[in-house]
């Protein structure tokens, strides 16, 4: 081995992330990727929709796994599925009003039920009392409202007879480390056949519905009794996806993390707003629920407050990432009152403050942010947005190190001027006078117009 090669091997053993950056599947340049991702980076805020048969039991989309239900035991939900209130135009209007710019629907979740018309199965919406392709209606409705559309497709399938039983399967053995038990349960199952099904369905989704903007493939859990890229043939799958839809944006759950282009964005799931600080500078989209589960869960009481939802949105953008917020429609096909009221309150805030969200990212390093607040930044319009998490009681907002930076300040919601002066003690600091009366927004925004 020559000297350089020796060092390269040694370094990449100790720094696998370096290795990751050098391994590639395609020859797309960073500039081309930036261009492809541009709308997504600008839009920042999307809607996730988890809808499937699990809306009927209404106690988590993993109910089949949690209660270890067989296909026969789960069958009643297929038989009863009858979404008489399914009007995706209403979903699209609510999403749009809340300021969301794209939506991703579960075309199939882990339970295996398909909301779309697939040639390869009869476990699908057109064969239920719905009698139609619900994905097609979703796509048309959201496109009509000017939103971008995406599909979630579960790599996992707890209904397909050839999908081998693993540690996450509803029919897993009592002892999930017992390899002999798996061997017994998987006798006659052929993952290769399932894989063909998976490829066929992804091809259908990316062929029959026009331009699809995002694909969310979910998920890998490599290791003993799990599944990863070898099970899905992830490289080939991704190549097919990119061939069918060259502009599409793909998430990171194919277990191709060793490749710089094995995914387009990372997906921190249900993390706290503080934890998002660690993702600053990465291309990320945090996915979050209104309450704990993704599918409709009737008895859940842990709904996030308006402030918590705003905090997640603001924390995503001010760290340079996106938020995709989930709604789990009911079995009848509508958003329940709690989801609607959460969306309405976001709509109210976004109407007044969305300039601090779209096309924004984190501010340059030398922009100091008052303790406890957050800030976003729009490089194109040269504006910085200060999110007032704590409204100063004495009516004085101190901005340290800003006197050479800004030329005007106002509230974003009504563009009313905010007067400021240099601090006598420290001329580089500005003292902004705020009205006693806090603007009627949970987290008001100060817009700083930069020199
Ligand atoms: C997880 C869950 C799933 C949900 C998804 C959303 O992987 O399995 O139920 O669809 O995350 O990010």
Would you say 338 and 290 are in contact if contact means Cβ atoms under 8 Å apart? yes
Beta carbon of 219 within 6 Å of any ligand 1 atom = yes
- Distance from residue 347's CA to the centre of ligand 1 (Å): 26
| Residue 153 structure tokens | 């497709």
State residue 1's pLDDT score. Answer: 45
**Nearest-angstrom CA–CA distance, 234 and 169:** 20
Fold of the domain spanning 374-450:
Immunoglobulin-like (2.60.40)
Q: What stretch(es) of the chain map to CATH 2.60.40.1180?
A: 374-450
Structural contact between residues 205 and 153, judged by C-beta atoms closer than 8 angstroms = yes
- CA-CA distance, 448 to 434, in Å (whole number)? 14
Ligand 1 atom index nearest CA of 152:
10
Kindly give the parts of the chain with pLDDT less than 70: 1-21
Q: Answer yes or no: is the C-beta of 294 below 6 A from any ligand 1 atom.
A: yes
Pocket flag, ligand 1, residue 269 (CB < 6 Å): yes
Residues of the chain with CATH 3.20.20.80: 24-356
Beta bridge partners of residue 286, listed in sequence order: 323
Ligand 1 centroid – CA 178 distance (Å): 26
The whole-angstrom separation of Cα 436 and Cα 373 is 18
Q: Is any atom of ligand 1 closer than 6 Å to the C-beta of 287?
A: yes
Mutate to test the pocket of ligand 1, among 50, 218, 293, 324 (most ligand atoms within 8 A of CB): 218
The reported pLDDT for the residue numbered 22 is: 75
Nearest 5°: phi and psi at 353? -125, 10
Helix (H, G, I), strand (E, B) or coil at 409: strand
Q: How far apart are the first and last CA of the chain?
A: 56
SS (H, E, C) 321-350: CEEEEEECCCCCCCCCHHHHHHHHHHHHHH
Q: Where are the beta strands (DSSP E) in 140-248?
A: 148-154, 214-218
**Distance (Å, rounded) from C-alpha 319 to C-alpha 308?**
16
Tokens 């998976």 sit on residue: 198
**295-323 residue pLDDT tens:** 999 999 999 999 999 999 999 999 999 99
Q: What is the distance between the alpha carbons of residues 5 and 448, in angstroms, rounded to a whole number?
A: 51
Burial class of residue 445 (count of CB atoms within 10 Å of its CB; 0-12, 13-18, 19+) = buried
CA distance 69 to 60: 13
Report the alpha-carbon distance of residue 94 to residue 347 in Å, rounded.
8
Q: Which of 294, 325, 327, 328 to mutate to test the pocket of ligand 1 (most atoms within 8 A of CB)?
A: 294
Quote the distance between the C-alpha of residue 47 and its chain's center. Answer: 8
- Cα of 218 from ligand 1 centre, angstroms: 7
pLDDT computed for residue 280 by the predictor: 98
Return the percentage of the chain with pLDDT > 90, whole number.
95
At 36-85, the pLDDT tens digits run 999 999 999 999 999 999 999 999 999 999 999 999 999 999 999 999 99
Q: How far apart are CA 64 and CA 41, in angstroms?
A: 36
For the Cβ of 218 lying below 6 angstroms from any atom of ligand 1, the answer is yes
**420 within 8 A of 411, measured Cβ to Cβ:** no
pLDDT at residue 97, as a whole number:
98
Give CA–CA dist 53/151, Å, rounded. Answer: 17
Determine the residue of 151, 168, 169, 269 to mutate for testing ligand 1's pocket, defined as the one with the most ligand atoms within 8 A of the Cβ atom.
269
- Selecting from 3.20.20.80, 3.40.1260.10, 3.40.50.300, 3.40.50.12780, what CATH number does the domain 24-356 have? 3.20.20.80
What 3-state DSSP class applies to 40?
A: helix
3-state helix, strand, coil in the chain (%, to 5): 35, 20, 50
Ligand 1 test: best mutation among 105, 216, 219, most atoms within 8 Å of CB? 219
Cα–Cα distance measured from residue 320 to residue 281, given in angstroms and rounded to the nearest whole number: 6
Bond from prior residue into 219 cis (ω within 30 degrees of 0): yes
């Amino acid at each position: 081995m020559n000297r350089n090669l020796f060092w390269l091997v040694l370094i990449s053993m100790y720094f696998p992330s370096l290795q990751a950056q050098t391994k590639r599947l395609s020859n797309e340049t960073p500039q081309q990727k930036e261009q492809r991702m541009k709308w997504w980076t600008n839009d920042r805020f999307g809607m996730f929709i988890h809808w499937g048969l699990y809306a009927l039991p209404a106690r988590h989309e993993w109910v089949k796994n949690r209660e270890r239900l067989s296909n026969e035991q789960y069958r009643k939900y297929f038989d009863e599925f009858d979404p008489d209130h399914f009007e995706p135009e209403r979903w699209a209007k609510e999403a749009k009003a809340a300021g969301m710019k794209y939506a991703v629907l579960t075309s199939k979740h882990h339970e295996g039920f398909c909301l779309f018309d697939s040639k390869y199965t009869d476990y699908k919406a057109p064969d239920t009392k719905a009698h139609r392709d619900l994905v097609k209606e979703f796509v048309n409705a959201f496109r009509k409202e000017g939103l971008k559309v995406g599909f979630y497709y579960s790599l996992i399938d707890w209904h397909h007879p050839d999908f081998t039983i693993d540690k996450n399967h509803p029919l897993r053995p009592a002892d999930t480390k017992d390899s002999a038990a798996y061997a017994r349960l998987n006798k006659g199952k052929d993952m290769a056949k399932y894989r063909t099904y998976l490829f066929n369905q992804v091809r259908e989704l990316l062929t029959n519905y026009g331009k699809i903007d995002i694909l969310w493939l979910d998920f890998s859990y490599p290791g003993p009794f799990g599944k990863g890229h070898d099970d899905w043939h992830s490289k080939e799958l991704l190549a097919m996806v990119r061939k069918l839809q060259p502009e599409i944006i793909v998430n990171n759950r194919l277990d191709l993390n060793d490749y710089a282009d094995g995914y387009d964005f990372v997906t921190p799931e249900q993390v706290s707003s503080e934890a998002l600080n660690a993702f600053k500078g990465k291309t990320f989209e945090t996915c979050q629920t209104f309450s704990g589960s993704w599918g409709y869960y009737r008895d859940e009481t842990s709904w996030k407050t308006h402030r918590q939802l705003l905090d997640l949105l603001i924390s995503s953008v001010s760290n340079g990432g996106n938020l995709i917020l989930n709604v789990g429609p009911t079995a009848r096909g509508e958003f329940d009152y709690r989801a609607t009221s959460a969306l309405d309150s976001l709509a109210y805030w976004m109407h007044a403050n969305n300039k601090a969200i779209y096309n924004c990212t984190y501010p340059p390093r030398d922009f100091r942010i008052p303790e406890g607040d957050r800030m976003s930044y729009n490089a194109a319009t040269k504006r910085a947005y200060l999110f007032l998490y704590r409204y100063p009681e004495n009516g004085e907002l101190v901005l340290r190190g800003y006197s050479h930076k800004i030329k005007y300040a106002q509230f974003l919601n009504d563009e009313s001027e905010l007067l400021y002066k240099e601090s006598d003690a420290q001329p580089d600091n500005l003292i902004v006078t705020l009205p006693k009366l806090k603007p009627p927004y949970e987290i008001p925004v100060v817009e700083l117009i930069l020199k």
